[in-house]
Structure 1
Amino acid sequence: MAKLQKSIDKRNALVKATIELVNNNGFHATPMSKIAKMAKVSPATIYLYFENKQDLLNQTYIDVKAEYTKYAFETYDSSMSVAYGFEIIWKRISNFKLNECEEAMFLAQCDNTPIIDEAIRQEGIKHLQPLLDLWERGKKEGIIKPISDYLLYAYAINPLSFLMMTQNRGSFKLTKENIEEAFQAAWSSIKLCK
């Protein structure tokens, strides 16, 4: 059992080092040797867990995406109204992005660059299924604009990444009031006006 935990700890250290180095240096300036050094393992140890650097990046992306979506949907129930369900999910996502900055920044980089394999990116999208299902129900009920889920995500969720980056740079401090205003703006951008 101790051997298994040690193995899990090493893999987790590699993932954590990958996130930190990619956030600080970018994908291309993050060699495997630096990842191993930061994780305090030998470079050969990486290959016990990952096939190569691309596999390490892909698996780190999926791990972080799973953590992110587990948090986002933890208090959501599909029986909630569309408006309330969206508010619950949106506020959980904002909380994650503003409090788990390292992971959120890593996801933002992965989502906005071609470094992650397309098949892995599609697998990552599957983790958002409860949100996509909510939007589909909202479209059928005439509550959400009948537009592409990519557009809905771009207008309702992606601005949180901008706010996270702005806060991380110290340019803007988000308050409860700002977060509520941002939620109202996000909801207004996707709800169907009647």
Structure 2
Amino acid sequence: MIKKEKITDKKRALLNATLTLVNDHGFHDAPMSKIAKLAGVAPATIYLYFENKQDLINNLYLEVKASFSDCAFKGYDNTMPVKKGFEIIWYNIADYKLNLVNEAAFLSQCDNTPMIDEEIRKEGLKHLQPLLDLWDQGKKEGIIKPLSIFVLYAYTIYPLTFLMAMQQRNLYTLNTKVLDETFQAAWDAIKL
């Protein structure tokens, strides 16, 4: 039992170190040696848990994507009216991005890099399935514009990433009023 806890701690330390280094220096300036050093393990230890750096990055991506979806769909029920369901999901995502800044920054980097394998990216997209289903329901009911999921995401969720980045740089402040206005703008962008 003690041995298993140590293994989990080392794996967790490696994932946390990777998250930190990628956020601070980018994917290419986060070599395995630095990851191991920051995690406080021998470099060879990485290979007990991951095949290579690509496997480590892909695993971290899927783990962070899973935590993102756990937060995004908290309190959501697929029997809710489309707008109410979208509102809950949208505010949950905003909460995630405001409170789990490192994880949100990592996911943002993942959106803009070829480092994530396409197969893994598609697997990560499955974590958003309740939102995609909600949008499909909204299209069928004539509530949401018949646009691709990528356009819907670009107009509703991606602006949050931009605003969070501006807040991190102290160029903008996201308060309740701004979040409410931003949600309304997102909804207005996709509703029929």
After the TM superposition, which residues 27-106 of structure 1 pair with which residues of structure 2 at under 5 Å, given as runs?
Answer: 27-106=27-106
What is the number of equivalent residue pairs in this alignment?
192
Structure 2 length-normalised TM: 0.99
After the TM superposition, which residues 152-167 of structure 1 pair with which residues of structure 2 at under 5 Å, given as runs?
Answer: 152-167=152-167
Partner of 2:149: 149
For residues 8 and 185 of structure 2, the distance between their equivalents in structure 1, rounded to whole angstroms, comes to 41
For residues 188 and 12 of structure 1, the distance between their equivalents in structure 2, rounded to whole angstroms, comes to 41
Partner of 1:127: 127
For residues 57 and 76 of structure 1, the distance between their equivalents in structure 2, rounded to whole angstroms, comes to 29
Partner of 1:170: 170
For residues 108 and 91 of structure 1, the distance between their equivalents in structure 2, rounded to whole angstroms, comes to 18
For residues 151 and 111 of structure 1, the distance between their equivalents in structure 2, rounded to whole angstroms, comes to 14
Give unpaired runs (5+ residues) of structure 2.
Answer: none
Q: Secondary structure at the match of 1:127?
A: helix
For residues 74 and 174 of structure 2, the distance between their equivalents in structure 1, rounded to whole angstroms, comes to 23
Q: Amino acid of the residue matched to residue 38 of structure 1? A: L
1:99 CA displacement: 0.8
For residues 119 and 60 of structure 2, the distance between their equivalents in structure 1, rounded to whole angstroms, comes to 14
1:10 CA displacement: 1.0
Instruction: After superposition, give the CA deviation of every residue in 1:14-60 in whole Å (9 maximum; x if it has no partner).
Output: 11111110011001011000000111111011001100000000110
Partner of 1:16: 16
For residues 150 and 50 of structure 1, the distance between their equivalents in structure 2, rounded to whole angstroms, comes to 31
For residues 179 and 8 of structure 1, the distance between their equivalents in structure 2, rounded to whole angstroms, comes to 38
Q: Amino acid of the residue matched to residue 13 of structure 1? A: A
Partner of 1:182: 182
Instruction: After superposition, give the CA deviation of every residue in 1:80-132 in whole Å (9 maximum; x if it has no partner).
Output: 11000000000000000111000000000001111111100000000000000
Q: Amino acid of the residue matched to residue 67 of structure 1? A: S
1:7 CA displacement: 1.1
Q: Which runs of 4+ in 1 moved over 2 A?
A: none
For residues 71 and 166 of structure 1, the distance between their equivalents in structure 2, rounded to whole angstroms, comes to 22
For residues 124 and 30 of structure 2, the distance between their equivalents in structure 1, rounded to whole angstroms, comes to 22
1:9 CA displacement: 1.2
For residues 141 and 3 of structure 1, the distance between their equivalents in structure 2, rounded to whole angstroms, comes to 54
Q: Secondary structure at the match of 1:174?
A: coil
> Percent identity between the aligned chains?
61
Q: Amino acid of the residue matched to residue 141 of structure 2? A: E
For residues 81 and 5 of structure 1, the distance between their equivalents in structure 2, rounded to whole angstroms, comes to 44
Q: Amino acid of the residue matched to residue 158 of structure 1? A: Y
Q: Amino acid of the residue matched to residue 178 of structure 1? A: V
